[in-house]
Each structure stands twice: as C-alpha cells, then as structure tokens.
Amino acid sequence: MNKKNLTSWILLIPVSVIMLFLVVYPIFKTFLFSLDRFNLTEPGNIKFIGLKNYIKVFKSGDFYYSLINSLIIIAFVIILGFTCSLLVGLLLNKKSRLSPVLTAIAIIPWALPPVVNGIIWKFIFYPGYGLANKILINSGLINEPITWTTNRYILMIVISIVVAWRVIPFCAIVVLANLQTIPSELYEAAKVDGATKVKEFFEITLPLILPSLTLILINLTISAINVFDEIVALNGYAFEGQTLLIYNYMNTFSFMNFGLGSAITYIIMILSGIIGYFYIRTMSKDII
C-alpha cells in the first residue's frame, strides 16, 4: 500500500468511527431489542422471546390497517409528485426574466420544516370552515363543510397532498438540473427534421431525464413512507390517520413497548429497503 492510499484510509477513520457508533451499533442494538420482551412498564421483566414480537406484529390488525394507509399515501404521493415535479421542472426550464424568481419561490415548501407545512395545511383543511371548505361553499360546489380529517380515505388524500407539496420543489429542481444538461443541438436537429414539440419530448427529453425521474421516484417513496410530522400536525395521533410510523411511535413511546416497537422498526426498514433496491436496480439499468 503506497503513501497516498494509506492517507486515504487514515482520513476515513473518523467518519467510520462515527458511522459505527451512530448507525451500525443502533441498528444492531435495535435488532437485539426486537428479540426481547422489553416493556418499560415492567422494567424487571425483560427476557429473550425470539421472533414472538415479529409474529405479534404480523398477527395485528392495526399493522395491516397502518400498512394500507401507508400504501395509499405512497401511491397518491407518487402520482401527484411525479406529475407535478415534471411539469414544474419543464416550466422552470423555460428561459424568461422571471425564471430565477420562480425557482426561488418553488423551493420554499421544501425549505419549510414538515411541522410548519402540516400546520399551514391544517388551516386549509380544517374540518369546520377552513380555507378549502370556504372556497368550495362560496363556489356553490358543496352546501356544508367537509370533515377532511375524520374520514380515513379523505385524510389519506389530504396527507398525500401535503407530502407531495413539500417534496415537489426538490424533485422539480432535480428535473430542471437534468433538463439543462441536454444539448440544445439535439432540439435544433429535431426541428430541422420537422419534429413536433410532443415528439421532441418523448424522443429526446424523456429518455435523457430517465435517471433523474428514477431518483424522484425514490425520493417520493421515501418521503411518503417517512411521513410523521405532517400527520401529527393535521390530525394528532388519531387512529384514522395511523400509518406505519405512527403505529410504531404509539407502540414504542406511548405503550412503552420497546421490544415490539423495535420489531416494527425492522419491518419498516426491510420494506423500505426492498422498495429502494428495486428503484436503484432500475436506475442502474437506465444508466448502463
């Protein structure tokens, strides 16, 4: 090993130690907790029970209720986020004097903390006379206020809108950055050949931005899975809005069942890892 390689390995030691104690060790310790009967309401009765926590989770109706809620949010966030990110990215790519201003405005929702986003949207979708109900009533579309946060499926759609609104700016910037790397000569050649705008989009733009679109799908999915603050700000810890993370939080910190909560954490991590694996595999194929 030459001096240059040795220096590189030495420089990696600090971050490796940090990763070991702040990432690897907690992951390993959480797995050990998931194999124990570890309830802080009975601190003297901690014992090894194997996979019983995992079996209990998979037999729980609340787990499947939360899983379905999370899948609904993932589906709506991907549909809304993917479509709007692409449209906003294409809009920001149009050269005009307002482009820098529009880009700065577009990034604001992403820059705000998730709790703040949730509070803002709570005023919009307040069950009584929030902004959304006022607009619909004044427009004559409804006669009485819609209880946005008491119906399970309406609440899931509202949460999806809030999450998509927060994530779209970042995804749009990713699309914009990719669009600006496409050589203008390709479009000029297409115009010479008589290609329409639609044909240019599907034969030039779309194939060349596929890597960024895959990255957007990963980001949207992870954001949808990890939604927590917005739900709490919108509807608290009510059962109607219970997703996998809320279900995990309630079992771990409300019921103080760290063994069961650790098992739920690992299940969520595995589900996220499976989704991430397929996305990354698809992205690798696109790059190749």
In the beta sheet, which residues pair with residue 47?
37
pLDDT in tens, 167-189: 998 899 889 888 888 888 888 88
Q: Position of tokens 């040795």?
A: 6
Q: Residue 2 has what DSSP assignment?
A: -
Query: Is 170 buried (19+), middle (13-18) or exposed (0-12) by CB count in 10 A?
Result: buried
Q: 63 lies in a domain?
A: no
Q: 281 lies in a domain?
A: no
Residue 21: both structure tokens together: 């104690």
pLDDT in tens, 45-93: 889 999 999 999 999 999 999 999 999 999 999 999 999 999 988 888 8
pLDDT in tens, 32-46: 999 999 988 887 888
> Kind and range of the H or E element at 37?
strand 36-37
**Percentage of the chain surpassing pLDDT 70?**
95
Q: 184 lies in a domain?
A: yes
Q: 161 lies in a domain?
A: yes
206 touches 278 (CB < 8 A): no
Q: 83 lies in a domain?
A: yes
Q: 56 lies in a domain?
A: no
Backbone torsions φ then ψ of 220, nearest 5 degrees: -65, -40
Q: 215 lies in a domain?
A: yes
Instruction: Work out how many domains the chain is built from and give that number.
Output: 1
In the beta sheet, which residues pair with residue 37?
47
Q: 15 lies in a domain?
A: no
Q: Residue 1 has what DSSP assignment?
A: -
**Measuring CA to CA, which residue among 60, 56, 52, 37 is closest to residue 256?**
37
Task: List the domain range (segments joined by +) for residue 182.
Answer: 69-242
pTM: 0.86
Please report, for the domain that includes residue 199, its CATH number. Answer: 1.10.3720.10
